[in-house]
Chain A
Amino acid sequence: MIQFFHVSKRYPSGQSALEDVTFDIPRGQFVFLTGASGAGKTTLLRLIFREEVPTSGQILVNGRNVSSIPQSKIPYLRRTIGVVFQDFRLIPRKTVFENVTHLPRLLGVDVQGQKRMAYHALRRVGLAHRLNAFPPELSGGEQQRVAIARALINEPEILIADEPTGNLDPDLSREILRLFLEVNLRGTTVILATHDRDTIQRVGRRVITLDRGSVALDQELVGTDPPSLDPSLAMTADPEAGDAAETPEPESQGEEDCSFSKPCVISSTRRR
C-alpha cells in the first residue's frame, strides 16, 4: 500500500530530514510512527501525500509513484488520503458542515448526499449535533474530531494523523485513538505519528521508530492494555443509503474476530 525505497529528504538549507528510509506498509495495517521531535515524522507523512518531494528514492502509494506524479494529479492522490493534523486545520469562517463536506462538494455530490455523508461522519466522532457550529465555537477536542470527520468522510484508503492527540487531554486522546482503531478495523490503512510511548505500549501494533531521519526500529508490539472498541463509532457500510437521521447503524462485520495481537479478517465496503 505504502512503500518507501531508500527515501532521503534534504531541505534547501542543507538540513537532512530523512536518510535512506525503506519500509513497506501493507493495506489495512495500523502503524505508529514515533521518534523524538525533529526525528522526521512529519516530513515522512508529508511525503506520502506529496506535500514534500523526496530528494532521492521512490515512494509508492497504492502502486503510484508519488514522487513523480504530475502536479495536476496530486489532488486526485490526496482525495484517497485522509489527513489529520495536531492543529486541526479547519477553516474558521466555515461551519462544521462546510468544513467536513468539502471533498464531497468537490466531487459533485448533491446537497442531500453531502448532508447524509456529513451526518454519518460527524456521528462517528460524536458531533452530529454541531453541524452548524463554527470551529471557534468548539473546544479543542471537538475541533480535532471535526478534522477527523473531514478526513473520513470519503472513506479514504489511507488515514494519516500527525500528532492528532497532542493538544488533547488523556480521556479525549483515548477516545480519538479508539476511533482510529475503529477506522482501521474497517480496512483503512492508518499511520499515526506520535511521541507518546505510553499510548503505543498500551495499544500495541506495528511501530516504526525514527531517529534523526533514519528508521531506528520497525517492530510489532503486543499492547499491554488495548482499548475496547465502541461499536457505536463504527461506520455504516454505505453512508448514503437511506435517511441518515433515521437509519440505525448496522452492526459492523468482522470486528468480533479481531484482536490487537493478531491480524484481522475484515469484510468492509469502501467508497472509492
Chain B
Amino acid sequence: MNLLRSWKVSLLAVLTIAVSLFIGGAFLLVSGNLSASLERWRGQMRAVIYLKPETSEADLRRLAAEAVRQPGVTAVQPVTAAGARKRFQEIFPGLADLVTGWQDEPLPASLEVGFDPAASPKARAAWLEGWRHRPEVTLVDDDREWLGQLETVVAVVRAVGLALVAGLLGAAIFTIASVIRLTAYLHHEEISILRLVGSTEFFIRGPFYVEGLLQGLLGGLVASGALWGAYEFLHARGRGSLVSAVLALDFLKLQDVAFLVLLGGAAGLFGAIASLRREAL
C-alpha cells in the first residue's frame, strides 16, 4: 500500500537496487561466459612435446604409443619433421621459403597430446614434467600456462564485480532503509493509534518489512529485465565477434536470475529491518 501511496520515493529505492543488481548481474554474466569459454578451451587443451632432431620415425611412433597409454591422454598425434614443415608451408604459404632449402629438416618432430578435461590437472602436470626430463625431448609446450592467466583474469573480474556489488548493495540498502524510515515517520501518528488499540509489534512493523521486501524484489526484476535487454542488444549487434563469443555467449541461467531477484528481496528486507531497529516507531 505504501508502495503505491509514496510511489516516487519507492521508485527511487527500486531503481537504486536495480542499478546495483544490474551491474552485479553484468559482472556475473561476463565472468560466467568467460568461465564457460575457459572450460571449453580447457576441454580442447593439448600439449606439444618437441623432440630432438635426431629422433627417428620409429622412435617417434614408439614414443607416441607410449604416450597414448597414459591415463588421461585421449589422443596422441605424432608429427614427423617433414610433416611439420609441410603443415607450416600450408598454413603460412607466404613464409614457405623460410623452411625450404635446408640441409636438415628445420622444424622438429613432435607429439601433439590431447587430454581428457576431467582428468586430474596434477597428474597431467606431473606426467608432462616427466617428459620434460627425457633425453629425446627438447621442449614441452603446455596450454595450461595461458589458461591459468585467463583464470586469473576471470577471478579478478569476479572480485571487482563482488566488491562493486557489495558497495552498491550497501547504498541500495541505505536508500531502502531511508525510504522506510521516512514512511514510518509520515505514519507516526497512525502507528501510535494502532498501538493504543492493541496492535502487536509484528502487526505494525510487518507492512514495512513487506514494503522493503517488495521494493527489493521489484529492483531485482527490473535489473534482470534490463540485463536481458542489454544482452539481447549486444548479442544482436556483435554476432560473430570475439567479444560477443567470449563475453555474451549465453544469458544468465534461470537460477542466476532467481538469485539476483532474491538478493534484491533480501537487501530490501534487510534495509527495512535495519531501519526499524534503529528507529523506534
Binding site for B on A (CB under 8 A): 49, 51, 71-72, 75-79, 83, 89-91, 102-103, 106, 150
Contacts and interface: CB of A to CB of B under 8 A. Distances in A.
B196 A49 contact: yes
A103 B193 CA distance: 11
B155 to A, nearest CB: 49
9 contacts: A71-B201, A75-B198, A75-B199, A76-B198, A79-B197, A102-B199, A103-B197, A106-B199, A106-B200
A263 B196 CA distance: 31
For the complex of A and B, 8 pairs with smallest distance between CB atoms: A79-B198, A78-B198, A75-B198, A75-B200, A91-B190, A89-B193, A102-B197, A103-B197
Dominant secondary structure of chain A at its interface with chain B? helix
B194 interface: yes
A71 B195 CA distance: 12
Contacts of A77: 198
B198 A91 contact: no
Dominant secondary structure of chain B at its interface with chain A? helix
A150 B197 contact: yes
A212 B194 CA distance: 31
B203 A83 contact: no
Contacts of A103: 197-198
A269 B69 CA distance: 95
Contact of B196 (A51, A71, A72, A76): A51
Contacts of A150: 197
Contacts of A89: 189, 192-193, 196
B201 A78 contact: no
A102 B201 contact: no
A78 B193 CA distance: 11
Contact of B198 (A71, A72, A90, A106): A106
